[in-house]
Chain A
Amino acid sequence: MSALLQVDNLDLYYGDAQALSAVSLEVAEGQIVAIVGANGAGKSSLIRTIAGIEKPRGGRITFKGRDITGLESYQTCDLGIGQVAEGRQIFPTLTVAENLEMGAMLPRARSRARQTMDEVYAMFPRLAERSDQLAGTMSGGEQQMLAIGRCLMGQPELIMFDEPSLGLAPMVVQEVFHIIRLLNQRGITVLLVEQNVAVSLRISAHAYVLENGAVVMSGEGEKLLHDDRVRQAYLGL
């Protein structure tokens, strides 16, 4: 399998503070890859840099063999990198349908918007029921489904999830991870950033442990799950 996304020696600074140092990782096509780590380890920074929202000081990001380092976020989106941002960033005063339409504004997705919307509604029947409801009035779980659905509207090949389980009820967390797996089975590659280490390691083919902006460990998800250091540091076992 070839790497869909490859990150080499990425350095990111906020002013003088280094947020990422020499981070390298690989996401093969069709995989779920997890990045785990504590709060402030640089997980979100990594996703934001890949998306083009933050600009790295050094290193290289390659997507489908193409150098995308330093591209703007609207360009990476149009290449097929979707993003479900942290904290369910929906448009609260727009309806569910309008939120979804907003996700299909890219050239790559515009022409198939109708069809994609039907597919999203089929996957999330609750969104179909509530298509005229204002998004801000829905529950946290429903908003997360909407955020995922809206990302799908852009027809991404790779979806980066930033803390998708944050602030959700345990039942809903299960559902979100189920959906992530489902999307993966349908051929979408997933890069998953999570504090919920146990679940994300369990569903991922490969995982990286991030500490203070650097990769300190990597390997198969299941293997890391049984690694003593991981168990001690992140699972409290």
Chain B
Amino acid sequence: MSAPASPLFADRRAIGLLLALLALLLALPALVNSYILSVAILILYFAYTGQAWNVMMGFCGQLSLGHSLYVGVGAYTVAALFVHYQISPWVGVWLAVVICTLMGLVIGFLAFRFGIGGTYFALLTIAFAEFTRIGFDHFDWVGSSGGFFLKVESHGTLDLLNLRGSPTMFYYLALAMCAAAFVFCAWLLKSRAGYYWQAIRENEEAAQALGINTFRWKMLAVGISSAMTSLAGVFFAFYYNNLFPEQIFNISRSIEIILGPIIGGIGTLFGPILGAAVLTILADGITELVAAMGLEIPGVKQVFYGVVLLLVVMFLPHGIWPTLARKLGLGQGSGK
């Protein structure tokens, strides 16, 4: 059977490009200053969350507009275990994954069992993220709306066990997460689940008529996506060291997660990565430019996101990657 992702891996040129990119990424911290490194970390973070979101929407066609829920709950879980009980994030992460997966499955169950689909499903995901935010605003054990803080260590420390260290450590952690997510998603696409998801995404009615257990496979997509996203929360907590419900559960965080894959190419493996890079670099560039001109325009980033989204939807409805891949002669132009 020809799997959706196979043409890419059959292509030697693509593998060459991929290895070169990987080498460059591995050497990056030695080559650039701390500002560029922080931008790179941000790109990797959004590439990872975008990849996780893409499993649900890109692969299986289930639109979530509430992925900040899993980032937030994942972040708060490990941070609380670490601060209150000195439990290493490598242990706490398991609980974070379990809790987030369960939350995802509850939302999925409510929606898929009772036939809530499309826009209504998206609204349900927003609702869950929102009332979790309100819940955390009043959750004193983790600082409620006043925020929850991890002790910041000096840049010299390197404590891998407790994820305390320099931006370089976080860069490599984010890179490892991105690489693992990429390989995992490539494998998913080629698996039986990937096939079923594609059928459900393309035409759920037909998938059902063919005897595909749509409920089960949609639940799997939600479970995997929420579990993956919770890991981003773990990263977020230890990288930023402070958590505010107002910030982390905010719907604009969810939107930021989905912009990368939409702009890069929904359902593709490179789309989330490319989209995250393009968006983060341009958005940061614009912010810097506006600051350099001595102006202070609040919300300029959001306006910029809107403009980019509009342009991509109008001119590249399938995202940048499928077009780019065709231009580069990769993957038979399918871009997958």
Chain B residues, Cβ within 8 Å of A73: 208-209, 211
Q: Which residues of B contact A105 (CB under 8 A)?
A: 192, 195-196, 210-212
A74 in contact with B209 given A91-B203, A97-B2, A105-B195 (CB within 8 Å): no
* Cβ contact within 8 Å between A102 and B195: yes
Please tell me if the beta carbons of A91 and B196 are within 8 angstroms of each other in the complex: no
Q: Which of B209-247 contact A (CB under 8 A)?
A: 209-215
Compute how far the CA of A209 lies from the CA of B226 in the bound complex, rounded to whole angstroms.
49
Within the assembled complex, what's the spacing in Å between the Cα atoms of A172 and B124? Answer: 44
Interface presence of A111 (CB below 8 A): no
- Contact between B202 and A77, CB atoms less than 8 A apart: no
In A92-144, the 8 Å CB interface with B consists of: 92-95, 97-98, 101-103, 105-106
A39 / chain B contacts, CB cutoff of 8 Å = none
A53 within 8 A of B: yes
Question: Given A98-B2, A101-B1, do A77 and B211 touch, yes or no (CB 8 Å)?
Answer: yes
The verdict on A154 contacting B211 (CB below 8 Å), with A85-B206, A101-B1 known, is: yes
Q: Which of B25-69 contact A (CB under 8 A)?
A: none
State A90–B195 Cα separation when bound (angstroms). Answer: 14
Minimum distance in angstroms from A194 CB to a CB of chain B: 17
A74 to B214, CA, bound (A): 8
The answer to whether A85 and B211 have CB atoms under 8 Å apart is no
Query: How far does the alpha carbon of A102 sit from the alpha carbon of B205 in the complex, in Å?
Result: 13
Q: Does B125 count as interface, using CB distance less than 8 angstroms?
A: no
Q: Say yes or no: A102 contacts B210, CB within 8 Å.
A: yes
Asked whether A93 and B210 contact (CB < 8 A) given A98-B2, A105-B195, A105-B196, the answer is no
How close is B6's CB to chain A, nearest CB, in angstroms? Answer: 12
Q: Can you name the residue of chain B whose Cβ is closest to the Cβ of A104?
A: B210
From residue A138, how far is it (CB to closest CB) to chain B in Å? 15
- Is the pair A94, B198 in contact by a Cβ cutoff of 8 Å? yes
* Among candidates A72, A90, A98, A154, residue contacting B206 with C-beta atoms closer than 8 Å: A90
**Pairwise interchain contact A74-B213, C-beta atoms closer than 8 A:** yes
Contact of A78 among B205, B208, B211, B215 (CB under 8 A): B211
Is B185 part of the contact surface with A, judged by Cβ < 8 Å?
no
Contact-residue bracket for chain A: 20 to 34
B209 touches A85 (CB 8 A): yes
Q: With an 8 A cutoff between CB atoms, is A18 at the interface? A: no
* CB atoms of B206 and A89 under 8 A apart: yes
**Cβ-defined contact, B211 with A89, below 8 A:** no
- How far is it, in angstroms, between the C-alpha of A125 and the C-alpha of B199 when the chains are bound? 24
How many B residues touch A, CB cutoff 8 Å?
A: 20
**A195 at interface by CB-CB < 8 Å:** no
Q: A98-B2, A102-B195 are in contact. Are A72 and B213 (CB under 8 A)?
A: yes
With A89-B203, A93-B202 in contact, is A53–B208 under 8 Å at CB?
A: yes
Measured CB to CB, the nearest residue on chain A to B334 is A93
Contact string against A for B residues 1-15, beta-carbon threshold 8 Å, 1 for contact and 0 otherwise: 110000000000000
The smallest beta-carbon distance between B205 and chain A, in angstroms, is 5
A6 beta carbon closer than 8 Å to chain B: no
Q: How far is the CB of B267 from chain A (nearest CB, A)?
A: 10
Known contacts A98-B2, A102-B195, A105-B196; is A92 also within 8 Å of B202 by CB? yes
Assess whether A91 is in contact with B209, with CB atoms less than 8 Å apart.
Answer: no
Whole-angstrom distance between the Cβ of A101 and the nearest chain B Cβ: 6
Q: Does A51 make an interface contact (CB < 8 A)?
A: yes
Q: Is the CB of B202 within 8 A of A91?
A: yes
> When the two chains form their complex, are residues B206 and A91 in contact, meaning their CB atoms are under 8 A apart?
yes
Q: Using Cβ atoms and an 8 Å threshold, which residues of chain B touch A90? A: 203, 206
Q: Is A150 an interface residue (CB 8 A)?
A: yes
The proximity string for A residues 46-84 relative to B, scoring 1 for CB distances below 8 Å and 0 otherwise, is: 000001010000000000000000001110111000011
The answer for the CA separation of A161 and B212 in the assembled complex, in Å, is 18
A84 and B210 alpha carbons, distance in the complex (Å) = 9
Q: Which of B192, B195, B205 contacts A89 (CB 8 A)?
A: B205
Q: With A72-B213, A78-B211, A105-B212 known to touch, is A94 a contact of B202 (CB < 8 Å)?
A: yes
Contact partners of B192 in chain A: CB under 8 A: 105
A53–B206 CA distance with the chains assembled, in angstroms: 11
Nearest opposing residue in chain B for A78, CB measure: B211
Q: Encode B175-204 as 1/0 by CB contact (under 8 A) with A.
A: 000000000000000001001101100110
What residues of chain A lie closer than 8 Å to B2, measured between beta carbons?
95, 97-98
Q: Are B212 and A85 in contact (CB under 8 A)?
A: no
B191 vs chain A, min Cβ distance (A): 12
What residues of chain A lie closer than 8 Å to B206, measured between beta carbons?
Answer: 85, 89-91
Name B's A-contacting residues (CB within 8 A): 1-2, 192, 195-196, 198-199, 202-203, 205-215
Please give 12 more A-B residue pairs, beta carbons under 8 A apart, in addition to A95-B2, A105-B210: A73-B208, A74-B212, A76-B211, A77-B209, A89-B203, A89-B205, A91-B203, A93-B202, A98-B2, A105-B192, A106-B210, A154-B210
- A residues lining the B interface (CB < 8 Å): 51, 53, 72-74, 76-78, 83-85, 89-95, 97-98, 101-103, 105-106, 150-151, 154
Considering the complex of A and B, which 10 residue pairs feature the smallest CB-CB distances, nearest first? Answer: A77-B211, A89-B206, A91-B202, A74-B213, A83-B209, A74-B211, A85-B209, A106-B211, A73-B208, A102-B199
Q: List 5 A-B contacts (CB under 8 A).
A: A72-B215, A91-B202, A95-B2, A105-B212, A106-B211
